[in-house]
Structure 1
């Protein structure tokens, strides 16, 4: 049975680290003040409100989640049946999910307000009341691009060509490891062991543009695989598949990269602990002690901006 605790368990992830570096106030809302907001009783309305805002999904985030979901399904279905999906099937499935999100956001506001995990609410519709027609058209065109590039990708071609020699990594999406007794969460898209080359291969599907953060993210994945399977970095190959452009990028990591990841983790944990009123229970400081960012461009796409405007 799920235990209800007054405060969340402290953990670390790269996304949590990036949230704190962008805005401490957002970090507080996301990782502390949304806690227990999913409960329908014995919880303050403030926490319910924060939790609802946490569940808002912007079009880029929603699009990426849906594409990743159907890529994962396509790979799993192929491994079970030997039949790859068609481009039109993938587009049809994903478009259905996007349409469902639009219907929920425009017609089921009260249902979402009561059960924000059961219904979609698009951030753009919540704050602006509508989706920009140009945005809709842009993402319609992206659907065909990203799924076509997925089917044509070297990774998927290798899966279909070497089905018998690949050992696919555990299917659960959320993986974790312990570093300095702290739970570290890692969300890898896809990884497998290639028996022919004696290599572990990590693949991250990207539905957006290249980012300076991509290398750091993949270095953490490489560290996870290195620790979990007790293999050397020479046995690990790491790739980004950029689905908008069809570009594939390979990364080579060294022990220095692993040391840098651990250094980032350690410094980040120290910074996070500044916002704990009690390090044992993980009770946070008051929300006013979580500073708002001075770089206001971060606020434009923030789920919690209405809360900051109220203060």
Structure 2
């Protein structure tokens, strides 16, 4: 049963770590001050405001979420029916969802303000009042490319050729593990076990470019599989599928890599605990103690820049 608590439960994830390293004020908004902001009563308007801003979706984020969701649906449908959607079908579905987000953002603003978790609000429209035509054109062109590359990807070819020897894990599900006493959340796009090769395969779909964080984030996924199924690292292959270019990148991990991500986790948790006024309830320190970043370029695309200009 869902319970309303005054403070959020402390946990760790790679995305939470990245938020803190980019800007501790953003980290405060995201993981503390948005808490209970979804409630319509017995909550301060400030928390409701922060929560609304947390739900803003920029075009790159929205685009990635829609593509990931349609890929998940396509794989699930293939497993159930043996049929794979065409590029045209996937593009049409994606355009429909993008159009729905645009309509919500322009015609249903009041509904979004009341229920920001039920309606879309695009970040660009919220702050600029419009979508840049060049941005719209760019992402329309990307749609066909990402779905063509997905349907031609080595991952999908393996799934459709070897379903009998593969044990498919549920995609995009929240998974967690305990490291020391901290709950660690892991959200893998897709993974499966290949009986013929005795290998666990982890797939991470990317709709943008390559990032220096990719390898470390995927090391956490490999560690999760290693711990959950008690397998050797040599039995785990990890891939980034870069859908915009059609490139595929393989990662193999050693104990050194795992030690490195665990070291990052430990240092990150220590840093996060500096922002706890009470380690037992996870009550945060004062708002002013969450420092703003000194990197002004980070603020341009931040959901919370409206609030930071006020404080």
TM-score normalized by the length of structure 1? 0.99
Structure 1 stretch displaced more, 161-170 or 301-310: 161-170
Deviations along 1:211-263, whole A, 9 cap, x unmatched? 10000111010000000110000000000000000000001110000000110
| Residue matched to 2:229 | 229
Cα pair 2:9 2:282 within 8 Å, conserved = yes
* Offset, 1:172: 5.5
* Offset, 1:170: 3.3
| Residue matched to 1:268 | 268
CA RMSD, 1 decimal: 0.6
Where do 5+ consecutive residues of structure 2 fail to align? none
Deviations along 1:83-103, whole A, 9 cap, x unmatched? 111110000111100000000
| Residue matched to 2:174 | 174
| Residue matched to 2:37 | 37
Q: Aligned with 1:46: secondary structure?
A: helix
| Residue matched to 2:198 | 198
| Residue matched to 1:118 | 118
Deviations along 1:79-133, whole A, 9 cap, x unmatched? 0000111110000111100000000001110000000000000000000000000
Q: Aligned partners of 1:270, 1:171: CA distance in 2, in Å?
A: 31
Matched, 1:245 2:253: no
The 5 Å alignment of 1:153-168 reads 153-168=153-168
* Offset, 1:64: 0.2
| Residue matched to 1:22 | 22
* Offset, 1:286: 1.1
| Residue matched to 2:211 | 211
| Residue matched to 1:256 | 256
Q: Aligned partners of 2:271, 2:145: CA distance in 1, in Å?
A: 40
* Offset, 1:173: 1.5
* Offset, 1:171: 4.2
Dislocated runs of 4+, deviation >6 Å: none
TM-score normalized by the length of structure 2? 0.99
Q: Aligned partners of 2:257, 2:186: CA distance in 1, in Å?
A: 17
Where do 5+ consecutive residues of structure 1 fail to align? none
Cα pair 2:171 2:189 within 8 Å, conserved = no
Q: Aligned with 2:205: secondary structure?
A: strand
| Residue matched to 2:309 | 309
Q: Aligned partners of 1:164, 1:140: CA distance in 2, in Å?
A: 36
